[in-house]
Structure 1
Amino acid sequence: MASLDYAYRRLVNTLGPERVARSEFDRMVYSHDFASLPKVALLQWKLYPDFVALPQTTEEVAALVKLSDESLLQITPRGGGTGWCGGSVPNRGGVLIDMRKMNRVLALDSDGRTVTTEAGVTWKDLEDFVESKGFALPFVPTNAVGSTVGGAINSGSTGFGGLRGGRLRDVIANLEVVLPDGKLLTTAPNADAGGQLADLTSLFLGAEGTLGIITKATIRVVTKPETSKALVYAFPDLPGAARFLKAIVDSGLEPYHAMLADRDHFVFERALQPDSPEPADLALVGLRGSKDDVADTERTLDGLVAKEKGKRLAVEVAEQLWRERYNNYSARRLSRGLLTSYNLVPVGRLPEAVETAARIRRRLKLNGSVQAYLVDTTTAALVPYVLMDDTRPSGGTALGFVKRMGDAAFKMDGHPMGLGLFLVFNLRKMHGRATTFISAVKAVFDPRKKINGGKTLEVWTKYPWPGVRAIPPQGMAVGLEIAAMLRRAKPTRDRFVRTYEQEKGS
């Protein structure tokens, strides 16, 4: 392996000194993603990259990938860092490639109904651009403000629009990818109008950056709807709100989005912002379409709500929640960290799922919230979050919640989402014998495992010695289960809201 000083000089020669960072502070920022990692993780992984590189062109990304063969440093691609299981966090240092300077929208094809963009553009910026041209995105991830186009594709994100425009895989027309050997791949060439060549787009969807680095994407767009409207309903309990979301699907309705959040979420919001809605178990529905269709759907929704003894809240509340729809985790400010468990479950089992999530959270004595939304007509996303303080000895035990939630999702004929550093043990449960195929594809594309190696399929550590270079995936499962047991044995329940109020008043 080349010395770090030599590797730094080569990186600077490629990008210039202003786009290569090596100070401890700059590297520390990239040692976690949106989720909080306990300090003990530093014993297992080298979470700080040796260098941070910020390319601005596809050619520069390719040069960085080729340079890895010379320096033998691992490469970790990163978008907005909005993931929750360490997929964009280094495990052995190396070079972290921050794609956010590749943030240009390149072209809008009005006739072909597509927009081509660099991978570092956030979905919110892309949405704003498309709407300014009279079009709309049929799909937008739930964390659109921070999530980049490439990052969402790598993680297989779900979000807004699934009931009407399909899921993310349905809106990607083409990708440009830098492969681990530095060559460029176009997954669905425009010249292949007859479909004679294989469309490799789906190969990179949800691959967590292990097969290559996405540099550009062509996304399908639709005509901007005539009107949009948000509705919000309060229910006596959260299962009632979940039954309402199920009834939306059973009735054949196609809102743009439908989600629920429990009372605790709004308790957190009100502690931070006094003008937040009165705490209650709420469902938020977004409608898009012609004025007549929106009015008809609104009347039908009111009837479904009445069956669950719910009530519609003021239009001002609905508009406020819709404006803030991409910001679901303000509660992080109440503690020093937050963990999200992202799971997919059948729509028919959503009422059971929200009760299960609340029960697990109570048993583990955690402060948190249960949220969920409709992904499409068959699937719902169950996305509870819990607060944690990773500076306390007990902070890391909150990771046991993610393990218990994933186990519960499997029991409900669903599965957790994301593998990253922590959840590799779920891969075989999710894909069975196909896991061997996934491993074989990685070996073909990246035999040296230089791009995001040691994740998804296996768990590398920072140590170079045989016997401790990697942890068996099931070993991670055992560790997280022990964390859950320790968490449940904790004698007291967390009280982050009360602590926050006391500190604010002092």
Structure 2
Amino acid sequence: MDHQATLEALQSELGDRASTVDVRRVVYSHDMGTLPDVVKKFIRTLPDMVVQPETVEEVQQIARLARDGGVPLTPRGSASAGYGGAVPAAGGIVVDMYRMRGLVSVDAEAGTATALPATTLQDIDEALRAQGFRMPLMPTSAPSATIGGFVGQGGAGIGSAAAGTLADNLVSVTAVLGDGSLRTFEGDEVALVYGMEGITGIVTAVTFRMLSAGEETVAAFSFADAAAAQAFARAAQRAGAWHVNIQPPNYVALMNRATGAALPENWIVLAVTADVDGLGAAAAAAHGTDLGAGAAAALWAERYYPLRGKKFGPSIIPVDVLVPQDKLVAFNETMVKKYEDSFVYEATVMGDTMLALIGFILADERKDDFTMAFANSLVISEVAKKLGGRAYASGMYLTAESEDIFGLDTLKRVASFKAETDPAGIMNPGKVLPPSLDGKSPAKLIARAIGSARGVAGIGAALGRVLGGRNNEVKPLTDLPNHMEESAFACAECGFCRSKCTVFLPDPWEDNSPRGKWYLIKEYAKGHIPFDVSMVHKLNICTTCKRCEQTCEVSLKMADEYLGAKPYFKQKGFSNAGLAALRGNVLGTGNFWGSDVEALSWHTDDMRFSDTGEIGFWPGCWTQTISKNAAQNAVHLLNAAGIEPVDLGDNGSDICCGFYLFLGGYAEDFEARVVENIKRMNAAGVKQVITPCPACLATFAELYGGIAEAHGLPFDIEFVHSVVVLNELVESGTLDLGAGEPVDVKVTYHDPCHLGRWFNVYEEPRNFIRAVPGVDYEDMRHNRQDSLCCGLVNAFYEIGSVPTSGVARVSEADEVGADYILTACAGCGVQVNNMCVAAQTHARQMDITDLAAKSLGFEVYDSNEAAQAYFAAAVDLLSTSTTIQDQ
């Protein structure tokens, strides 16, 4: 079987879980590390195919086919390390293990647990804590790092003061070998797979020791110098602290700058222990200052975010080393002398002898001197070695360090085992083994280049500093709008966003993740890939839910950047087929659906409005056509509180805020719509616009002001969601829901993305719901900032993913036994309504105002039939919607 036949066989075997799409292969060609482009020329990082197995048997079949065709396999967890272990060195096939996730079992008596390889450490820890246990240690990349990747990479992390390394806590590792067989490694055989980056096998299950989830106390102390911090950290470890972390002044300063905190920029030591009183005495002996519970809690909350300051690079050169605990002072003195404050690191106590120093040098890979500055990392590694330490890991880039890391005897044993079980040499070639033990390594040129660079590392470092002063200004490489290029280079590539992304979760390929999109932009900026329809389509796919922004290490604004780029995409000749059709509806009838005046009728005879006044009511086109109850209830309740708003929806069918014009990139059409709407509001004397539509709210609040200023229009208008106003009326006693009839139902609430994460409106809806007599309220598992997106916006780009997101959302309502899922968005309401039917949940959808209106005796319109009809119409309208290139 030749190379091509192998790819064809895998395609036949796995179907759409085997991909050769160009943009997809590009995003699987890197990890968190940034190698200079000149160094990357020594290897072939672009895979020929990416596959996603779901079972051990599929992994075995992949290995057999690759063996027969002599095609390299590169296993990949979340690529949350920066040593090249998950990056191909000779093309071939990347085996993305994402679909093999889950905690398999917990053996309370033995104190062990077993997990599938792609389960993140954070997910494992949360699942264990639900059963009274916890992980013995966690890497700082735990929100994305997988247990299989942790085994392949090896290392330490949070908890290592007591737990040591992962190797100290492994019971067994099961892996598929290069010949397709399955083997479980126990005892000293674990060394054949631990830290070996998959060169001896692809991990399929890991059994490890767990700890009891006892209570720990977090404490933080400030010290004047490195010697005091070093002494206290040692004392804390000896006193039994589970975790001890040291932060030098320049690290603290960078974190303060990145987060807006105001911690004292001294040496700070964070400790997690069951005996905080003992720590206080040790800190006092070292003349330390207790920073208090608040500061300690804030530092602990940031434990997974050591790269906050990366955006100030916006690139980094990572440098991770081990240094003896009693050599921190000497190491730091050398770093200050050589680099002043440009090398930033934090140190984690690892057992009773070593410190794991995870650090980086701020840089900019767009600068001419980046390659030379890269030599600085070699200087730092050499300093660590001279002090009795070593490099943290080898991966692909530091195979020359493997003997110091693993020992020659272990490496020879591994090489012998690999030759026996992987005679075709397909398992992740070019990693860990130095050229002396792997003469066919596709990465041997990198090893030689780095070896040569080490010989002149001091010269290179000095030259890098000199060149750094010659090229401080960086001209943009592209004409991309907003901050897209800068954000792409600032992205930490940590992968935290993947598990949050509404687009990624239903279709978990890397190019669907925010991280993947930023990497595509970076590769385009560097001239490596074209700005074509396939790339623009990937950039377009975003529900603007902002879930990724909640977890981003460097606080990138994905939704704002991609929404702001829509006109740019249109200028470059790219459109969305569905939004092009909607443009015709909006321009022709003034609403999303192209509905006539009769279909938009939502008024009832008992509503009271004013012709002019400071308070206006804007229903929104989805509310007028589908969820008429949301608009009717809001006006009825406002009237009950004595408010008669100006009816901004009483203008025939012309009631679109312009959101879909903006989403489609039709800048001139959108601007004209905005000007018209602002003039209408100003003519009525409106100072506050109340709307039940979060999309309208976002459009008004985020986009109208700039256009009003550009046209010289008065714009002294506040925009607010109706539930916020209604809750204020309830809390002030102006609207008395307590006087209504009890409803006696159990409900939960779905946070709309454009109301929650966009405007931080979380408690107002819940308070309003609880004010209705007889309501039994309970939150779903994902709520508030972590609420799942309903996924509806993705219908414009990948409609097939919409049901997956929707079903995931509504299924949580049955977990809490809710009768109704209350929504505060017409779009979410339609999606939730139909997904409840599709998933056959007990819970059904209801607008957030329905119960209050019913309780007070108002007749409430039943929108279920309309929701189902319009949803079917939307599916038909958007069934072929995708990114297209204009003719």
TM over 0.5: yes
- Which of 280, 291, 307 is the equivalent residue of 1:313? 291
Tell whether the 8 Å contact from 2:315 to 2:364 is kept in structure 1 after alignment. Answer: yes
Equivalent residue, structure 1, for 2:243: 257
Q: How far did 1:3 drift?
A: 4.9
Select 1:485's aligned residue among 454, 459, 466.
459
- The whole-number CA distance in structure 2 between the counterparts of 1:149 and 1:495 is 44
Q: In the alignment, which residue of structure 1 is the partner of 2:127?
A: 129
Distance 2:254 2:395 in 1: 28
Aligned position for 2:115: 117
Distance 1:123 1:389, change over 3 A: same
**Residue 230 of structure 2: aligned partner:** 242
> Which residue matches 2:385?
410
Residues 51 and 481 (structure 1), Cα distance of their counterparts in 2 relative to 1, 3 Å cut: farther
**Distance in 1 (alpha carbons) for counterparts of 2:299 and 2:363:** 25
Task: Look up the equivalent residue of 1:398 and give its one-letter code.
Answer: A
Counterpart AA for 1:60: E
Q: Is the 8 A contact 2:369 2:468 kept in 1?
A: no
* 2:425 maps to 1:446: no
Check 1:378–1:418 CA distance in 2 against 1; reply closer, same or farther (3 A cut).
same
Of residues 436, 450, 464, the one that matches 1:476 is 450
Instruction: After superposing the two structures, state which structure 1 stretch, 322-331 or 350-359, moved more.
Output: 350-359
More helix by share: 2
Matched, 1:211 2:211: no
Letter in 1 for 2:359: P
Amino acid at match of 1:159: G
Match of residue 81, structure 2, among 75, 80, 83? 83
> Which contiguous aligned blocks of 4+ residues in structure 1 show a shift greater than 6 angstroms?
466-469, 494-499
Q: What is the aligned partner in structure 1 of residue 508 from structure 2?
A: none
Q: Distance in 2 between matches of 1:394 and 1:277?
A: 33
Given the alignment of the two structures, is residue 390 of structure 1 paired with residue 378 of structure 2, yes or no?
Answer: no
| Contact 1:421/1:459 (<8 A) preserved | no
How big is the alpha-carbon RMSD for the aligned residues of Structure 1 and Structure 2? 2.9
1:456 lines up with 2:455 in the alignment: no
Aligned residue in 2 for 1:194 = none
Q: Deviations over 1:82-123 (max 9, x none)?
A: 222211111111101111221111112222222111010010
The 10-residue stretch of structure 1 (344-353 or 114-123) with the greater mean CA deviation from structure 2: 344-353
SS at match of 2:322: strand
Contact 1:135 1:222 in 2 (8 A): yes
Deviations 1:309-361 (A, max 9, x none): 32111311110111121221122222232232222222222222233334343
Instruction: Tell me whether 1:230 sits opposite 2:218 in the alignment.
Output: yes
Q: Which residue of 2 aligns with 1:191?
A: none
Structure 1 residue 413: Cα displacement: 1.6
Is 1:73–2:49 an aligned residue pair?
no
2: CA distance between counterparts of 1:264 and 1:403?
A: 21
Check conservation: 1:358, 1:370, Cα contact below 8 A.
no
The answer on whether the counterparts of 1:357 and 1:384 sit within 8 Å (CA) in structure 2 is no
Is the Cα–Cα contact under 8 Å of residues 271 and 497 in structure 1 kept in the other structure? no
Q: Work out the CA distance in 1 between the residues paired with 2:315 and 2:219.
A: 31
* Alpha-carbon distance between aligned partners in 1 of 2:167 and 2:28, rounded to the nearest angstrom: 28
Judge conservation of contact 1:120–1:150 (CA < 8 Å) in 2.
Answer: yes
Q: Determine if the alignment matches structure 1 residue 424 to structure 2 residue 399.
A: yes
The superposition leaves residues 25-49 of structure 1 with CA deviations (integer Å, 9 ceiling, x where unpaired) of 2222222211212221331111111
TM-score, normalised by the number of residues in structure 2: 0.50
Distance 1:285-1:234 versus aligned 2 partners, 3 A rule: same
Q: Identify the residue that residue 192 of structure 1 maps to in structure 2.
A: none
Q: CA deviation at 1:276?
A: 5.7
1:55-86 deviation digits (Å, cap 9, x = unpaired): 11111111111111233221111112122221
Partner residue of 1:330?
308
- Give per-residue Cα distances to partners, 1:159-197, cap 9 Å, x unaligned: 122333343123212221101100000224xxxxxxxxx
Instruction: Mark the CA change 1:11 to 1:433 in structure 2 (over 3 Å): closer, same or farther.
Output: closer
SS where residue 384 of structure 1 aligns? Answer: strand
Counterpart in 2 of 1:193? none
Secondary structure of 1:387's counterpart equals strand
One-letter code of the match for 1:265? Y
**Greater strand share, 1 or 2?**
1
Is the 1:35–1:337 Cα contact (8 Å) retained in structure 2?
A: no
- Name the CA distance, whole Å, in 2 between partners of 1:368 and 1:438: 35
What residue in structure 1 maps to residue 8 of structure 2?
9
Query: Residue 167 of structure 1 aligns with which residue?
Result: 165
Structure number with bigger Rg: 2
The answer to whether the 8 A contact 1:158-1:168 is kept is: yes
CA distance in 2, matches of 1:479, 1:448: 32
Alpha-carbon distance in 1 for matches of 2:450, 2:282: 44
Q: 1:273 aligns with which of 249, 259, 270?
A: 259
Distance 1:171 1:96 in 2: 28
Query: 2:318 maps to what in 1?
Result: 340
Deviates more, 1:307-316 or 1:146-155: 307-316
Q: Give the superposition deviation at 1:206.
A: 1.3
CA pair 496-159 structure 1, distance change in 2 beyond 3 A: farther
Distance 1:91 1:21 in 2: 19
CA distance in 1, matches of 2:301, 2:472: 24
Deviation at 1:229, TM superposition (A): 1.3
If asked which structure has higher relative contact order (CA below 8 Å, sep 6+), I would say 1
What CA deviation, in whole Å up to 9, does each residue of 1:264-323 have, x standing for no partner?
2233223332236343321111124xxxxx2xxx23322222233321113111101111
Distance 1:495 1:115, change over 3 A: farther
8 A contact 1:233–1:310 mirrored in 2: yes
SS of residue paired to 1:456: coil
* SS of aligned partner of 1:342: strand
What is the one-letter code of the residue matched to 2:310? R
- Aligned residues of 2:435 and 2:441 also touching (Cα < 8 A): no
Read off the aligned partner of 1:126 and give its amino acid letter.
I
CA separation in 2, counterparts of 1:380 and 1:149? 22
Give the Cα separation in 2 of the matches to 1:486 and 1:264: 23
Q: Structure 2 matches for 1:332-371, cutoff 5 A?
A: 332-362=310-340, 367-371=342-346
Q: Counterpart of 2:459 in structure 1: which amino acid?
A: M
Residues 56 and 245 of structure 1: CA distance in aligned 2, closer, same or farther (over 3 Å) = same
User: Residue 405 of structure 1 aligns to a residue in which SS?
Assistant: helix
- For the residues of structure 1 that align with 2:402 and 2:113, how far apart are their CA atoms? 33
1:401 aligns with 2:376: yes
Answer with 267-276 or 36-45: which moved more.
Answer: 267-276
CA contact (8 A) 1:357 1:370 kept: no
Give the 3-state SS of the residue equivalent to 1:102 in structure 2: coil
Aligned to 1:195: none
- Asked whether 1:32 is paired with 2:10, we answer no
5+ long unaligned stretches in structure 1: 189-197, 289-293
Other structure's SS at 2:124 match: helix
Task: Work out the CA distance in 1 between the residues paired with 2:14 and 2:359.
Answer: 41
Q: CA separation of 1:105/1:435 partners in 2, compared to 1, >3 Å: closer, same or farther?
A: closer
Q: Distance in 2 between matches of 1:161 and 1:153?
A: 16
Could you tell me the TM-score, scaled by structure 1's length? 0.86
What CA distance in whole angstroms lies between the structure 2 residues aligned with 1:498 and 1:240?
39
